[in-house]
């Protein structure tokens, strides 16, 4: 999982937005629309990044369709120290 986190959050275009989304979800689970508003991003952009994060088991979805709420997956939480390391390096 550590390699997946490094790749998805730093090794691809859009990593910065994925880190922002992950930080927001760690603070409070939200749906895509709430994330778009909170992060001042386009809804379609947020949906794209959520899809990437879900495909890589970094976030999970609770519920269906428009109102689905997203939160960090259990695997992501178990490796949260790696996420924190990535965030610190990106903040420098």
Q: What is the pLDDT of residue 64?
A: 80
pLDDT of residue 84: 94
What's the 3-state SS for the chain?
A: CHHHHHHHHHCCCCHHHHHHHHHHHHHCCECHHHHHHHHCCCHHHHHHHHHHHHHCCCEEEECCHHHCEEEECHHHHHCHHHHHHHHHHHHC
The reported pLDDT for the residue numbered 12 is 82
pLDDT (tens, 9 = 90+) of the chain, 92 residues, equals 999 999 999 988 899 999 999 999 999 999 999 999 999 999 999 999 999 999 999 999 998 877 899 999 999 999 999 999 998 888 77
């Amino acid at each position: 999982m550590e390699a997946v986190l490094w790749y998805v959050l730093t090794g691809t275009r859009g990593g910065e937005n994925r880190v922002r989304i992950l930080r927001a979800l760690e603070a409070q689970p939200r749906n895509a629309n709430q994330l778009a508003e909170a992060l001042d991003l386009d809804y379609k952009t947020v949906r794209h990044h959520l899809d990437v994060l879900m495909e890589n088991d970094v976030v999970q979805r609770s519920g269906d369709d428009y109102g689905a709420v997203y939160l960090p997956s259990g695997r992501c939480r178990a490796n949260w120290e790696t996420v924190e390391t990535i965030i610190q390096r990106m903040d420098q």
